[in-house]
């Protein structure tokens, strides 16, 4: 699933490039906007599904280790990099900072959701709440929940996280035959057409068949997937998705608003801004792999370990 996660992250970078350009010059290239709308119903639900697939591994740990691990690897980078985004957006102030742990007012809300989902689903597992119930109830509640603090979106996406867990703990995948997968693909194409050329359908219960169709199709074809040289870079992006996710938007704002300000073509500016975000992710991951101070920006245990060594060395 690293390849699928890598594709999702690239799609996130593409749509946020559009947002960064709109913030900077008040314009966005329509061909790229249409392309992004084609995938609008799928990016975040599928990312949540992929994260839910990994839940079973976490449930094998004790409650303390599970919580500490998720706080260290998910909530910590959410907090740190939210501050970077606030600075880039020009809204770094005390009120926004204080809101961050509670309401996730940054572009990194996905990580806040993900941390909460791990806690919710871990508790649901401890109290033996049926996973199917955790799939059905949240998406129904999303249609009645308020948009305040993205509560409606939170409920909707929880369904896809739980669906990922259901996929790994049940046998429903075996019933996704080739005819079912082809019907699911057709549903995806219809959903993309509606999203791009009619009206938005993401986070809507009545159109949940579109992202569910994508999940059925991808899980079917993934049985036949074998890595080849052209796909390995995308798999690498997928394995290091958190790095690309947290760092891309400040870079896109910097390039879209300032560095590329003299380029008249919004299409060229879009491409160059996107490539800059990808390059920044690659560079940051290389630094993360080789320097503990950078790795500490993504893992609080690494950061605290570095502080301890520094304190001991100074004695």
126-132: long-range contacts (C-beta < 8 A, 24 or more apart)?
126/63, 131/162, 131/165, 131/166, 131/169, 131/170, 132/166
CA distances from 263 to 99, 108, 274, 277 (A): 37, 29, 15, 17
Query: For residue 25, what pLDDT band results from cuts at 50, 70 and 90?
Result: low
If one counts every other C-beta atom within 10 angstroms of the C-beta of residue 140, the result is 13
Percent of the chain with pLDDT over 90: 79
What is the C-alpha to C-alpha distance for residues 150 and 105, in angstroms, rounded to an integer?
Answer: 10
Between CA 259 and CA 255 the distance in angstroms is 5
- In this prediction, residue 103 has a pLDDT band, given cuts at 50, 70 and 90, of confident
In tens, the pLDDT along 70-87 reads: 999 999 999 999 999 999
Question: Could you give the CA distance from residue 7 to residue 2 in angstroms, rounded to a whole number?
Answer: 9
* Confidence bin at 309 (pLDDT 50/70/90): low
Predicted pLDDT at 314: 42
pLDDT value at residue 291:
95
Separation between Cα atoms, residue 78 and residue 73, nearest integer Å: 9
pLDDT of residue 263 exceeding 90, the answer is no
Check: CB of residue 125 under 8 Å from CB of residue 166: no
pLDDT at 24: 63
pLDDT at 61: 87
Given pLDDT bands bounded at 50, 70 and 90, which one contains residue 306?
low
pLDDT in tens, 116-157: 999 999 999 999 999 999 999 999 999 999 999 999 999 999
Of 137, 2, 119, residue with least CA distance to 55: 119
Asked whether the beta carbons of 145 and 155 are under 8 A apart, the reply is: yes
Could you report how far apart the first and last alpha carbons of the chain are, in Å?
47
Give backbone dihedrals phi and psi of 223, rounded to 5 degrees, phi first.
Answer: -65, -25
Calpha distance 49→312 (Å, rounded): 43
* Section 210-238 average pLDDT: 94
Token representation of residue 145 = 């929940």
CA distances from 272 to 14, 18, 31 (A): 11, 12, 16
Span 34-41, mean pLDDT?
A: 97
Kindly state the average pLDDT of the residues 18-45. 87
Predicted confidence band of residue 311 (pLDDT cuts 50, 70, 90): very low
Model pLDDT for residues 146-179, shown as the tens digit of each residue: 999 999 999 999 999 999 999 999 988 888 999 9
Share of the chain above pLDDT 70, in %: 96
Model confidence pLDDT, tens digit, residues 165-221 = 999 999 888 889 999 999 999 999 999 999 999 999 999 999 999 999 999 999 999
Give the C-alpha separation, 254 to 28, whole Å: 16
What pLDDT, on the 0 to 100 scale, is given for residue 262? 77
Q: How confident is the model at residue 310 (pLDDT cuts 50, 70, 90)?
A: very low
Average pLDDT value over all residues in the chain: 92
């Amino acid at each position: 699933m690293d390849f699928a996660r890598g594709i999702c992250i690239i799609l996130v970078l593409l749509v946020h490039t559009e947002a960064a350009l709109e913030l900077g010059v008040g314009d966005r290239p329509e061909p790229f906007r249409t392309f992004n709308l084609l995938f609008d119903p799928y990016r975040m639900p599928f990312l949540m599904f992929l994260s839910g697939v990994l839940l079973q591994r976490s449930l094998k740990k004790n409650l303390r280790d599970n919580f500490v691990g998720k706080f260290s690897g998910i909530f910590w980078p959410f907090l740190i990099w939210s501050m970077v985004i606030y600075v880039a957006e020009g809204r770094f102030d005390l009120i926004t900072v204080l809101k961050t742990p509670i309401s996730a007012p940054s572009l990194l809300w996905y990580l806040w959701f993900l941390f909460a989902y791990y806690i919710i689903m871990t508790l649901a597992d401890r109290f033996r709440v049926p996973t199917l119930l955790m799939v059905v109830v949240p998406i129904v509640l999303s249609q009645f929940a308020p948009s305040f603090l993205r509560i409606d979106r939170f409920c909707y996406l929880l369904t896809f996280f739980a669906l990922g867990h259901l996929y790994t703990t049940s046998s429903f995948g075996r019933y996704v035959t080739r005819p079912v997968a082809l019907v699911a693909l057709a549903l995806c194409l219809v959903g993309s057409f509606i999203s791009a050329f009619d009206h938005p359908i993401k986070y809507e219960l009545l159109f949940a068949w579109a992202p569910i169709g994508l999940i059925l199709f991808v899980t079917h074809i993934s049985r036949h997937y074998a890595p080849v040289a052209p796909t390995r870079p995308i798999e690498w992006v997928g394995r290091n998705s958190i790095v690309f996710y947290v760092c891309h938007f400040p870079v896109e704002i910097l390039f879209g608003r300032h560095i590329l300000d003299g380029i008249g073509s919004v299409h060229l500016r879009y491409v160059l801004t996107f490539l800059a975000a990808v390059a920044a992710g690659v560079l940051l991951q290389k630094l993360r792999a080789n320097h503990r101070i950078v790795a500490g920006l993504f893992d609080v245990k690494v950061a605290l370990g570095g502080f301890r060594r520094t304190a001991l060395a100074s004695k």
